[in-house]
Every structure is written in structure tokens, then in C-alpha cells.
């Protein structure tokens, strides 16, 4: 199925925005000693506490983790570094996944693409989508084409340095495991959350796999209104 074709006609395409973010600062975070995922292509666990916000359908982390301490190389604009921080008054939506994912990743990206098309043009232009690969051995050359087939101005990030990817994902609570079976098949388990990051580099909201496009669009609109108040 060509997902990009399925999305055509819902709305006219949004104008493309610059798809890179220069390195603002580099810090360090402790590398996770082990990354554990409980199910193939998904997990129902989310690290950190949760707070209730009746205005939002997603999971609010309390306290909100700082996720902008590590940057990852852009695969969309080679030579650039992408920081996990939205521009002022805007929102960044981050996903850790892989292109060979048979169901969770493409479903999540379709749901997000539909959510963005539900927003008015001004709000949609204030959302930057970033997809980081958890399977760099197979994804570095093709992730940009993959993610932009769902969201045309999305940014792909990744590196052969798996420890650096782990360091970037750790403050999000993202986890994954890539392994090869006896018959040579590559299997990837990963947490299936979408993450909303504000202009202070803080993770303000997570959506679990299966969150509706309507709920995501409403949450994004609310978060943008708060950011611009």
C-alpha cells in the first residue's frame, strides 16, 4: 500500500519548511545500561511519572524531562545536527522507529499525518516532525524518503553510533532492541510512543500507539495555544 497516495486529496499539501536544525548545544546524558522493549514493534511501558491534565488526551510526564541534551545527525540535510527542541512558540513531534516496521510505525505515521491535516495551516506550519531510526544498519540511506512519504517536510535523523542514539532516546523513555535470529532475520522491538517537545526542550506529552488522529490534533492545538499565549 502506498501511504502517500492514500493521504492525497485530504487537503492540499502544506508548503515545505526548512528541514534542518543547526547544532545549538551539545550536552551529555548517562547512557542507559540496558534498553528493554516488552513486545515486537511495541511496548506498553512508559518511564517517569504521569500527571493529569483534563485538557489533554495524551500522557503528561511529571516532571517534564529535558530531552535536548543530545543532538543527532540529520539524514535529510547531511552535515546538520538536529536538536530535540521546538522553535520558539512551536512544537516538535518526535518518533523513534524503523522503516522495516510492518505495522506500528506506518500506522503511527499515518495517524500523525492525518492529525496534522486536521489543523489549520498556521498551526500545522508550527509543528516539526522528527523521526529517529532505531535500526541504523538498514535505515540511514532510506529513512528520509520513508518519513517524508507521510509528512513531506519531516526530518529524518540517525547515526551508525548506536550509543549516541541510545543517549538521545533515554530521556524520552524510548527503548528498543535490535537482534538477529538464528536464520538471519532481523527483529526489532521498540516502544511505540509519539513525543511532543516544547521550545524549552522539554517532553510535554506522549501519545501511546492507537491514539486517534482527532485526539492528537486537539492536543497539538492546545499545546500550541499555550506556547503562544
Contact in structure between 112 and 106 (CB atoms under 8 Å): no
DSSP state at residue 171: G
Kindly report, residue by residue over 14-60, the tens digit of the pLDDT: 444 444 443 333 333 333 323 333 334 443 344 456 776 778 999 99
Nearest Cα residue to 133 out of 115, 145, 151: 145
- Asked, as a colleague might, if the bond just before 63 is cis with ω within 30 of 0, I would say yes
Kindly report, residue by residue over 61-76, the tens digit of the pLDDT: 889 999 999 999 999 9
**Average of per-residue pLDDT values in the chain:** 83
- What's the pLDDT score for residue 180? 85
- What's the pLDDT score for residue 48? 53
For the purposes of burial, counting CB atoms within 10 Å of the CB of 84, is it exposed (0-12), middle (13-18) or buried (19 or more)? Answer: buried
Number of domains in the chain: 1
What is the share, in percent, of the chain residues with pLDDT greater than 90? 66
The answer to whether position 180 is within a domain reads: yes
* 3-class DSSP state of 110: helix
Kindly report, residue by residue over 127-139, the tens digit of the pLDDT: 999 999 999 999 9
The answer to whether position 49 is within a domain reads: no
The answer to whether position 15 is within a domain reads: no
The answer to whether position 113 is within a domain reads: yes
Residue 111 belongs to what domain range? 59-227
The answer to whether position 12 is within a domain reads: no
CATH number at residue 98: 3.40.30.10
The answer to whether position 11 is within a domain reads: no
Amino acid at each position: 500500500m502506498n501511504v502517500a497516495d492514500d493521504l492525497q486529496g485530504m487537503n492540499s499539501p502544506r508548503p515545505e519548511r526548512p528541514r534542518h536544525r543547526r547544532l545549538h548545544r551539545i550536552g551529555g546524558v548517562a547512557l542507559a545500561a540496558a534498553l528493554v522493549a516488552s513486545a515486537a514493534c511495541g511496548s506498553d511501558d512508559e518511564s517517569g511519572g504521569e500527571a493529569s491534565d483534563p485538557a489533554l488526551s495524551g500522557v503528561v510526564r511529571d516532571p517534564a524531562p529535558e530531552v535536548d541534551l543530545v543532538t543527532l545527525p540529520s539524514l535529510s540535510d547531511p552535515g546538520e545536527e538536529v536538536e530535540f527542541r521546538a522553535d520558539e512558540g512551536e512544537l516538535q513531534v518526535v518518533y523513534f522507529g524503523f522503516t522495516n516496521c510492518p505495522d506500528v510505525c506506518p500506522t503511527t505515521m499515518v495517524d500523525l499525518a492525518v492529525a496534522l491535516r486536521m489543523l489549520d495551516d498556521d498551526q500545522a506550519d508550527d509543528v516539526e516532525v522528527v523521526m529517529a531510526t532505531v535500526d541504523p544498519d538498514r535505515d540511514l540511506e532510506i529513512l528520509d524518503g520513508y518519513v517524508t512519504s507521510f509528512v513531506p517536510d519531516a526530518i529524518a535523523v540517525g547515526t551508525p553510533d548506536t550509543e549516541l542514539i541510545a543517549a538521545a532516546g533515554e530521556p524520552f523513555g524510548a527503548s528498543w532492541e535490535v537482534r538477529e535470529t538464528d536464520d538471519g532475520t532481523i527483529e526489532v522491538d521498540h516502544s511505540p510512543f509519539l513525543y511532543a517537545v516544547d521550545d524549552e526542550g522539554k517532553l510535554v506529552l506522549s501519545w501511546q500507539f492507537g491514539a486517534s488522529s482527532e485526539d492528537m490534533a486537539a492536543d497539538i492545538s492546545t499545546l500550541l495555544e499555550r506556547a503562544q499565549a
